[in-house]
Chain A
Amino acid sequence: MVAEFLQFLFSGLTVGATYALAALGFAIIYNSSRVINFAQGEFIMLGGMSAVALTGLGIPLSVAIVLAIAVAGAVGALIEKFAIEPAGRADVVPLIIITIGASLVVRGLVQVVLGKGTHALGAFSGEKPFVIAGATLLPQSLWVMGVATLVVAALGWFFGYTRLGKAMLATSHNTLAAELVGINTRSVLLLSFVLSGALGAVGGILLAPITYTSYDVGIMLGLKGFVAATLGGLGSGMGAVVGGLLLGVLEAMTAGYISSAYKDAMPFVLILLVLFFMPNGLFGAKTIDRV
């Protein structure tokens, strides 16, 4: 009984950590630009696929990981430069379509260049699982949860204690005021895309040894990351992390205790329920619109 529950919990936390990183990526971009970046899922995919491609070329794993993160960050910058900036002050719906278009371009290019197969990345420290109270835990899961925690902590320090981070936060609160005090909001926007790209990639690379990667893993991961971000309240960093973990665990519990077929529906049912009772998400601030 306990072993079963623990097993579901471990797998839920593992996948939840990746959702959390994806949700953070959404939150960072949303904060600096009010854009919902539907291409976020593709950053996750790029991380895993690039790492696979690079190790396939003979590059050692640690170097491949760094390069893969850089690639995703670069793609983020490209999307900002060629999709978001030209759009200017577009409305919500055209912006959504633009980011969806961008995600298709990224996915399509990977499909052409790297093919349609599924690929495995080698586990970082072997595959022998730990046994804890009757449930098994893969070493890779510990990597996922550990690195994700480190990343979140690093981001917390970055936003709270560095000038650049604080500048980004300022931009998210009030773009005009930030510009007035001399913050280059253009650069902040670019940086937020690069950062989100890197975050997504980290999640993708961490998870690839457990879940494999292919050119189309970004679709569902991106959507669920979006759900997690919305769950926690769009724009709230902590909300994103909590949302992601909660989503992963609830998904695993649904698969284990209710129905494995409806596991994928659960995140969306959850978001509907939460939004009906808390229209601004769990941690979201009440927004005031000027008319």
Chain B
Amino acid sequence: MNKLSSSTLGLLVLAAVLLCLPLVLPNTFYYDVAIRIAINAVVAIGLNLLIGYTGQISLGHAGFFGLGAYASAILTSRYGWPSALALVAAASAIALLALLVARPVLRLKGHYLAMATLGLGIIIMIVLTNESAFTGGPDGLAVPALVLFGWEVSGEKSWYAVCAVALLLMAWTAINLINAPGGRSLQAIHGSEIAAFAVGVDVTAMKIRVFVLSAVIASVMGSLSAHYVGFITPGIAGFHHSIELVTMVVLGGMASVFGSIVGAVLLTLLPQFLSTLEGWETVAFGLVLMASMIFLPKGVVPTLRARLRRGAA
């Protein structure tokens, strides 16, 4: 009961922040950053379900993001599909792909699973780079605007609205998923896979379902991101992006929905701050990664929560 009300409180705070933010953002550049944070946050929440709750590492999630982006881009720009239809089609195709790979991949454990997902992500990126007739190759592909129910989404303010709604929706869905009866098995797997199996949870089915779900979420946000930026390159499916996503999840706090949002905020803002360091950005980013994992191994939100609880006690 306690957990439910803290989550509802969190959602209300999130909604309030999203509503009030436009009042303080000085220009469209800040809206742009907010939009990118929101997109990353949604993907991170989805990835957290996989990494934090079912305990499966994925070092190639940017691959699904990239595939969604490219599918939407190619269907709309080369074949003239309406963007909403393309988005759904892309997500469905990714769902199918995820389903196909899920069973063999999820049989693997630990570092072997990491390697397999890493391999998947890199293969996707290489294919996107090489099939330039379709994808425009390393020089990228322009993406037409998103049209939702007859409304062409353009301009930072409209996109902010779309992404804010998406983020709220995702957070609410994730919390309900975790706290619902079906979601209890998710928490059980997080606690101990063997124990969950012992009490009758269909661990494999659950893992596959979460894998596919997180892949679809990444795909949808990839499509949205493609329409927003208006231009995509194969780099969005690359290893660096996958690591950024995993870091958002881990730094924010595994198995914590709000943690993923915090992680997304931190990791998206970081390059903006580092851009003033001229030449030292790589070193600084590496140091931040190391320091945050060494001093906050549980993630920001869980560590804060524990401190607050200790303070209250």
Confirm or deny: A111 has a beta carbon within 8 angstroms of a beta carbon on chain B.
yes
Check B286 against A103 for contact (C-beta < 8 Å): yes
Residues of B near A92 (CB, < 8 A) are: 57, 110-111, 114
Residues of B near A95 (CB, < 8 A) are: 293
Given known pairs A97-B243, A111-B282, A265-B126, the reply for A36 and B119 (CB within 8 Å) is: no
Check A91 against B116 for contact (C-beta < 8 Å): no
Check B285 against A104 for contact (C-beta < 8 Å): yes
Residues of B near A109 (CB, < 8 A) are: 283
Confirm or deny: B224 has a beta carbon within 8 angstroms of a beta carbon on chain A.
no
Confirm or deny: A205 has a beta carbon within 8 angstroms of a beta carbon on chain B.
no
Check B130 against A97 for contact (C-beta < 8 Å): no
Contact-residue bracket for chain A: 35 or more
Residues of B near A191 (CB, < 8 A) are: none
Binds B, one of A49-57, A143-151, A267-275: A267-275
B298 shortest CB reach to chain A, Å: 9
Confirm or deny: B107 has a beta carbon within 8 angstroms of a beta carbon on chain A.
yes
Confirm or deny: A86 has a beta carbon within 8 angstroms of a beta carbon on chain B.
yes
Confirm or deny: B133 has a beta carbon within 8 angstroms of a beta carbon on chain A.
no
* Distance of A111 Cα from B71 Cα, bound (Å): 36
Residues of A near B130 (CB, < 8 A) are: 261-262
Confirm or deny: A102 has a beta carbon within 8 angstroms of a beta carbon on chain B.
yes
Residues of B near A86 (CB, < 8 A) are: 294
Confirm or deny: A135 has a beta carbon within 8 angstroms of a beta carbon on chain B.
no
B112 shortest CB reach to chain A, Å: 6
Residues of B near A264 (CB, < 8 A) are: 122, 126
* Distance of A111 Cα from B123 Cα, bound (Å): 27
Contact with A along B169-201 (1 / 0, CB 8 A): 000000000000000000000001111000000
Across the interface, name the chain A residue whose C-beta is closest to B52.
Answer: A93
Check B112 against A234 for contact (C-beta < 8 Å): yes
Residues of A near B110 (CB, < 8 A) are: 92
A136 shortest CB reach to chain B, Å: 28
* Distance of A100 Cα from B285 Cα, bound (Å): 10
Confirm or deny: B120 has a beta carbon within 8 angstroms of a beta carbon on chain A.
yes
Contact partner of B287 (CB less than 8 A), chosen from A91, A101, A262, A289, is A101
Residues of B near A275 (CB, < 8 A) are: 104, 108, 112, 115-116
Residues of A near B294 (CB, < 8 A) are: 83, 86-87, 98
Confirm or deny: A291 has a beta carbon within 8 angstroms of a beta carbon on chain B.
yes
The A87-132 residues at the B interface (CB cut-off 8 A) are 87, 90-98, 100-109, 111-112
Residues of A near B192 (CB, < 8 A) are: 291
Check B57 against A223 for contact (C-beta < 8 Å): no
Check B283 against A279 for contact (C-beta < 8 Å): no
Contact with A along B278-299 (1 / 0, CB 8 A): 0111111111111001100100
Check B122 against A281 for contact (C-beta < 8 Å): no
Point out which of A227, A271, A289 has the most chain B C-beta atoms below 10 A from its C-beta.
A271
Point out which of A90, A101, A271, A280 has the most chain B C-beta atoms below 10 A from its C-beta.
A101
A289 shortest CB reach to chain B, Å: 8
* Distance of A14 Cα from B282 Cα, bound (Å): 31
* Distance of A223 Cα from B290 Cα, bound (Å): 19
* Distance of A287 Cα from B108 Cα, bound (Å): 11
Across the interface, name the chain A residue whose C-beta is closest to B283.
Answer: A108
B302 shortest CB reach to chain A, Å: 12
Residues of B near A111 (CB, < 8 A) are: 279, 282
Confirm or deny: B232 has a beta carbon within 8 angstroms of a beta carbon on chain A.
no
Chain A interface residues toward B at CB < 8 A: 30, 36, 82-83, 86-87, 90-98, 100-109, 111-112, 223, 226-227, 230, 234, 261-262, 264-265, 267-269, 271-272, 275-276, 279-281, 287, 289, 291
Chain B interface residues toward A at CB < 8 A: 51, 57, 59, 104-105, 107-112, 114-116, 118-120, 122-123, 126-127, 130, 192-195, 239, 243, 246-247, 250, 254, 279-290, 293-294, 297
15 A-B contacts (beta carbon < 8 Å)? A87-B293, A94-B250, A96-B59, A96-B246, A97-B250, A98-B293, A101-B289, A105-B290, A109-B283, A112-B279, A262-B126, A269-B123, A275-B115, A276-B104, A287-B109
Extra contacts, 19 of them, besides A98-B290, A276-B105, A279-B112 (Cβ < 8 A), are A82-B290, A92-B57, A93-B254, A96-B59, A98-B293, A100-B289, A101-B290, A102-B290, A104-B289, A107-B286, A109-B283, A226-B115, A227-B115, A230-B111, A234-B111, A267-B119, A272-B120, A279-B107, A291-B193
Nearest 10 A-B pairs (CB), nearest first?
A: A104-B286, A101-B289, A108-B282, A108-B283, A268-B119, A105-B286, A101-B290, A291-B194, A276-B104, A94-B293
